Structure 1
Amino acid sequence: MAQGQGRLNSSTKRPKGNLSDGNRKLDAFSKRQTLAQHRKSLPIASVDKRLVEEVQKHDTLIIVGETGSGKTTQLPQFLYNAGFCGDGKLIGITQPRRVAAVTVAKRVAEECGVNLGEKVGYSIRFEDMTSSSTRIKYMTDGLLLREALLDPHLSRYSVIIVDEAHERTVHTDVLLGLLKSVQDARSKSLNNLQNTKNKKSNNDIQLKENGAQGLNFLKQYQGRTPLKLIIMSASLDARIFSEYFGGARAVHIQGRQFPVDIFYTLHVENDYLDASLATIFQIHLEEGPGDILVFLTGQEEIESVERLVKERLKQLPENSKKLVAVSIFSSLPSEQQMRVFAPAPHGFRKVILATNIAETSVTISGIKYVIDPGLVKARYYDPNKGLESLVVVPISKAQALQRSGRAGREGPGKCFRLYQEDQFGKFEDSTKPEIKRCNLSNIILQLKALGVDDISGFDFIEKPTRSAIVKSLEQLFLLGALTDDCKLSNPVGRQMACLPLDPIYSKALILASEFNCLEEMLITVAMLSVESIFYTPRDKKEESRTTKKSFASPEGDHLTLVNVYRASNEFLEKRSGLSKEKREKAFRKWCKENFIDSRSLRHARDIHSQIRRNVEQLGLRVASCGDDVLQFCRCLAASFFLNAALKQPEGSYRALANGEIVSIHPSSVFFKNKPECLIFNELVETNRKYIRNTTRIDYLWLTELAPQFYAVQN
């Protein structure tokens, strides 16, 4: 197999003497040659000059190219080589997902033969790998929105490429509106400058009289150039983008697609995880060489299936064990994300367990088989109830086609759809834009910080419903972020806008400074920002529950998470003398023994470090409540008052904000011993509505701490 080339086997003798440097140079040269050949073979390589000419001619360009055409990695390099980074300007490329921004930046740095963070870098929430020498910058769309808070004209950029625009995330949609206005503002600036120059030549004396003022004006616009905007989409229908930008030119790049055989199930699969597992081993044992890509809905499912694959492999004969499972999802640490791109060991098959990030955001070579359960996890917001829920829903036809297409990038492939053929016909044609189904509070807060007072008048590519805008404005007002006339409040609203978090989390941190429990709240917000910290293996349910109880707080899940974090701190501090590698190995072992997801906990620790720096920059006082956990619980009630629920006679709960009947999630410490009143972090909808991450509160605290929402009742 080609995947085994370049590996040393047991019978290969290593060279002796001083040849190692020469070998390294030879390997580096060989790698550069391979990369150069790969770049030349990409579909986009044949139209490089044409694309550069199109960008030079048009300020806005839409590029439609299938995944794998090379548009994400190659176009920024074409533009850099064509001189678009003159005067120290940057080419910025936005991605909807952090994983894509990181992995693509690493690849492009490798192709350019530079260290990551030099000419090529990336910037995502809580992680910045750029420097003053960076000229090609990959980033999340949300991060560029935040950058606009400091630089409304985005004056550092000559070109901005909005990649994966077809995904229509809320940040992408808002970013398109913002970039449209930035283009307009920069064009007007240039016109004003030209008019000033004309006036100077016509009336030199007047400019001399107002010398200082004229000089300041010229300095203000010095180096200001039109913003080149490129929108890239893997969807063939680019009309909506073209029309939004006044009939902008669209260019199509042909991709490479080999035939893919589609297989459907004969019957409805009640347990798609079991069906996925069975199909993985059916392919592994019965089909020819080639890697397998499995689409799952989130980190919990992925890690569950990964464990099951490893367990099942132990039961197989030795010659059938040559299968290695790797994962990719958004919160996976960047060094672990890279494992999916590495070839499997010689003679092995790789099975990649992925979220919908693998539909279009990243291209993984070697895939010949795709397993598609036809589901995706999405956030849906009901503005009438003020309720946001995380729901597993059917994918769209467009997503199904993107998924099956993954199997045909390098040769003929097969796609196993774990649903019946008539079910495919019932799917929506395309995914509903996120802005039509999400809580807009966070994005409205950012728009307000950018100076957009009239949210309804903002030039959205597709307007959200009026009820969604009104409900989000109401929520921000209740959180104290807006004044009576809907302006950003000072200091609370401005402080909230500076924190890269959900508005409720931002308010919780600000309040925690007043309640003298910011240390605990920083840990809580960091732990809530990642997927589940605990996991429960199917064959060790009781053991895992017993272990979890050792961390449990009688006050609820939030303090339980604080206990886990502090226990991990204590464990690592005791091993501070070990090497980094040994310390990390011991940490993973401790996590496994305690049924804690080491990847989630490591990610939470990274987030904690970043948001601690954020709150210190805002001047908030970081203090601990110590043993006074009542203060911490009161602070949670004051922050999450919109997520309060009261116990009903039959044992369920009624969400006080909207009357919705909900149940406590089985993972909660309160699943069996239910308190009278509690606050929760989120609502998750599967076969029923569950509230997750709960803390016991006194019902009377709500009228005391959130009188703006709760009227005093008998």
Structure 2
Amino acid sequence: MAQGQLNNSTKTRKRNFSEHSRSSYAKRQKLLQHRASLPIASVEKLLVKEVQKHDTLIIVGETGSGKSTQLPQFLYNAGFCGNGKLVGVTQPRRVGTLSVAKRVAEECDVVLGEKVGYSIRFEDVTSTSTRIKYMTDGLLLREALLDPYLSRYAVIIVDEAHERTVHTDVLLGLLKSVQNARSKFGNNDKQLEKENAAQCFGFRKHFQGRSPLKLIIMSASLDAQMFSQYFGGARAVHIQGRQFPVDVLYTYHPQQNYLDASLTTIFQIHLEEDPGDILVFLTGQEEIESGERLIKERLKQLPENSKKLLVVPIFSSLPSERQMRVLVPAPPGFRKVILATNIAETSVTIPGIKYVIDPGFVKARFYDPNKRLESLTVIPISKAQALQRSGRAGREGPGKCFRLYPENDFEKLEDSPKPEIKRCSLSNIILQLKALGVDDVIGFDFIEKPSRQSFVKSLEELILLGALTDEFKLSNPVGRHMACLPLDPIYSKALILSSEFNCLEEMLIAVAMLSVKSLFYISSEKLDEVRTVYKCFESPEGDHLTLINVYRASNEVFKKWSTLRTEDNYKIFRKWCKENLIDSGSLRHAHDIHSQLRRSVEQMGLRVASCGDDLLQFRRCLAAAFFCNVALKQPNGKYRTLANDPMNDIQIHPCSSLFQGKPECIVFDELVVTNKPYLRNATIIDYLWLAELAPQMYSLEN
């Protein structure tokens, strides 16, 4: 009997293995068929020849052409990764980097991190065998600090260049100089002795015969002329996308309430149109959450057979694990409606979309260098963005795009969005350029130069922080240490100072927690519930101390899981997070960031000490580092900043532990404007500390 059971068990295992093999084979065949059907597949040889002939190539690939996933594989197969070289591909966003790398690893039938890997801030999934490396553009900039000529790379592909993020623009200027240096000096060591190739940046290192760098700029924009001119008339190649026809429908009149108009259109499609998922472009988390709630309320009023509508949100502060849910197909019989910010325009390719709803607006960040104020402003999209949005409906078959504005309003839109470098703080970029040896940052070869005022204000800030000398040189060691840390300058300075205040451990925790934007997934409808749960963590002295309390409270369950990574320990950790309304993936990320930052500061020779439960020194250190971000209470209970161009009547953010308390003087993490100006992440300080700890900006007299 026992033998019979054993034989049956063996047969079952064999059958299961056989079924798994068939399933894997079928999946593999489907992937191969999909790759062969992509428009870029028919021009593989042509593209490889173009890259071989030209050191710089502009590739304009329409949505759905397959350029992001296929071109790196073509170059690998053509032998560009000989002698251990890499094909590097930059993306503007973390979620895009991760999703494309996963897809390519799947197509190559390899474990992610081997032949195909990715690197994003605080997360490196690569190895010595990696040959195709996806990364954020900011990470490649940081890599240049250690390897000024990016000598590991045979080819660098700058993908989604049309998005014009600040890091993309700086990276283009950097790569242009790297390419000139590598092309000029190649293997000519005698010439190298006479003339140092590093002068392109101001470095004083020998180049030692690197091979020329192949540079590919990829854009979904139909106008490649600007990129081509910037790179001296570089060759441009257009790849036809697998774009099915998309019917674009306009409204007769502008919509007063575009959220309500979007909801009406969603249900019109759901009840009247053929099967297919819906993608709706909204401007931010609050709008998306409100839309999700209203859709669910309206679904209750429909007949049972019309309720099969699945709502999936995606926005940047949503934890990565939740963002990836948009890629999961809807259950059989259901229609998926995705409520998205502009993150879905190009960064994430979502399968199954047949209908797009475009209200015509986007939320953009604008930085005022005088007030040190970052505002989130809803503005009309550009024509390029409108075309990107409509294109999402024609990826897998004919689609429809419902533009909730009249056609003559479309004609009035700007051709392209304003580049981020013209509307953001330049402090971090200037610090990185200085570390790369670029002394004349104003004269740097930007594709579009920011305003002189932005440069001046950022240089002033870096001098106040001690990162630059009065002669605008990188200070030693403070400035060099700050440039080595992958953080905003103010956070870097806080870590360096905290070593002197004997609270580096606490500052590491605070900075790690602040670096994870989606740690607390706070829904606007659950704000009261969130406040109740957080009472046990709240510090009466402020939000930075509250973050330390959360980290310390999670430390025991996290260490238990990270030391012994069993399923039971992971369940305990996730249960703790769920009970405390904390995203487990984000908290895990914060712990990882803490570990990496700790290693970095130890390598710098900083002493990691803890101030324990006496956090007075920690608050004094915050005052010493965040002295540019100080606000005083006014007689009306609101706050006035102490920046060069002060702002009045600002409120502490409702999520803050200090929202009800109204202390006299605070330091804050950031000043943002949504519907009104708010101070985020605030902690109490004594204003008398400022003259002592930041004499470069304050005196007892003022």
TM-score under structure 1 normalisation?
0.88
Provide the C-alpha distance between the structure 2 equivalents of 1:71 and 1:440, rounded to a whole number of angstroms.
31
- Tell me how many residue pairs correspond in the alignment: 678
Provide the C-alpha distance between the structure 2 equivalents of 1:133 and 1:546, rounded to a whole number of angstroms.
49
Q: What is the Cα deviation at residue 266 of structure 1?
A: 6.5
Provide the C-alpha distance between the structure 1 equivalents of 2:689 and 2:697, rounded to a whole number of angstroms.
12
* SS of residue matched to 1:471: helix
* SS of residue matched to 2:186: helix
Q: Mapping of 1:262-277 within 5 angstroms?
A: 262-264=248-250, 276-277=262-263
Tell me the equivalent position of 2:156. 160
1:174 matches 2:170: yes
Q: Mapping of 1:236-255 within 5 angstroms?
A: 236-255=222-241
1:393 matches 2:379: yes
Contact 1:376/1:392 (<8 A) preserved: yes
Tell me the equivalent position of 1:558. 544
Q: Mapping of 1:569-648 within 5 angstroms?
A: 569-570=555-556, 572=558, 580-585=566-571, 587-648=573-634
Contact 1:645/1:679 (<8 A) preserved: yes
Tell me the equivalent position of 1:675. 663
Tell me the equivalent position of 1:516. 502
1:684 matches 2:672: yes
Tell me the equivalent position of 2:346. 360
* SS of residue matched to 1:641: coil
1:28 matches 2:28: no
Q: What is the Cα deviation at residue 309 of structure 1?
A: 5.5
Tell me the equivalent position of 2:443. 457
Q: What is the Cα deviation at residue 448 of structure 1?
A: 0.7
Provide the C-alpha distance between the structure 1 equivalents of 2:13 and 2:674, rounded to a whole number of angstroms.
63
Q: What is the Cα deviation at residue 48 of structure 1?
A: 1.0
Contact 1:391/1:684 (<8 A) preserved: no
Tell me the equivalent position of 2:127. 131
Find the partner of 2:513 among 514, 519, 527: 527
Provide the C-alpha distance between the structure 2 equivalents of 1:116 and 1:576, rounded to a whole number of angstroms.
21
Tell me the equivalent position of 1:430. 416
Change (3 A) 1:313 1:579: farther
Q: What is the Cα deviation at residue 298 of structure 1?
A: 4.3
Moved more, 178-187 or 621-630: 621-630
Q: Supply the AA of the counterpart residue of 2:618.
A: F
Tell me the equivalent position of 1:442. 428
Find the partner of 2:685 among 667, 676, 697: 697
1:120 matches 2:116: yes
1:86 matches 2:86: no
Find the partner of 1:339 among 325, 334, 341: 325
Change (3 A) 1:492 1:316: farther
Change (3 A) 1:537 1:145: closer
Q: Deviations over 1:657-681 (max 9, x none)?
A: 1211222222222323211211111
Q: Supply the AA of the counterpart residue of 1:84.
A: F
Moved more, 147-156 or 26-35: 26-35
* SS of residue matched to 2:623: helix
- How high is the sequence identity, in percent, across the aligned residues? 76
Q: What is the Cα deviation at residue 560 of structure 1?
A: 1.9
Moved more, 224-233 or 380-389: 380-389
Contact 1:159/1:228 (<8 A) preserved: yes
1:50 matches 2:46: yes
Tell me the equivalent position of 2:398. 412
Contact 1:125/1:500 (<8 A) preserved: yes
Provide the C-alpha distance between the structure 2 equivalents of 1:535 and 1:16, rounded to a whole number of angstroms.
44
Q: What is the Cα deviation at residue 35 of structure 1?
A: 1.2
Q: What is the Cα deviation at residue 366 of structure 1?
A: 0.7
Q: Supply the AA of the counterpart residue of 1:151.
A: D
Change (3 A) 1:337 1:613: farther
Tell me the equivalent position of 1:707. 695
Find the partner of 1:107 among 95, 103, 108: 103
Q: What is the Cα deviation at residue 536 of structure 1?
A: 5.0
Q: Deviations over 1:302-339 (max 9, x none)?
A: 56655665676677655444333444444655555443
Contact 2:289/2:523 (<8 A) preserved: no
Provide the C-alpha distance between the structure 2 equivalents of 1:136 and 1:288, rounded to a whole number of angstroms.
40
Provide the C-alpha distance between the structure 2 equivalents of 1:387 and 1:480, rounded to a whole number of angstroms.
21
Q: What is the Cα deviation at residue 514 of structure 1?
A: 1.6
Tell me the equivalent position of 1:477. 463
Q: What is the Cα deviation at residue 651 of structure 1?
A: 2.4
Tell me the equivalent position of 1:12. none
Tell me the equivalent position of 1:212. none
TM-score under structure 2 normalisation?
0.90
Change (3 A) 1:584 1:391: farther
Change (3 A) 1:647 1:195: closer
Provide the C-alpha distance between the structure 1 equivalents of 2:186 and 2:243, rounded to a whole number of angstroms.
44
Q: Supply the AA of the counterpart residue of 2:614.
A: D
Provide the C-alpha distance between the structure 1 equivalents of 2:271 and 2:596, rounded to a whole number of angstroms.
46
Q: What is the Cα deviation at residue 267 of structure 1?
A: 6.8
Q: Deviations over 1:337-385 (max 9, x none)?
A: 4433232222222233333222112222110122334333332122333
Tell me the equivalent position of 1:660. 647
Provide the C-alpha distance between the structure 2 equivalents of 1:576 and 1:450, rounded to a whole number of angstroms.
36
Provide the C-alpha distance between the structure 2 equivalents of 1:539 and 1:389, rounded to a whole number of angstroms.
23
Q: What is the Cα deviation at residue 585 of structure 1?
A: 4.9
Q: What is the Cα deviation at residue 285 of structure 1?
A: 3.8
* SS of residue matched to 2:157: strand
Change (3 A) 1:32 1:422: same
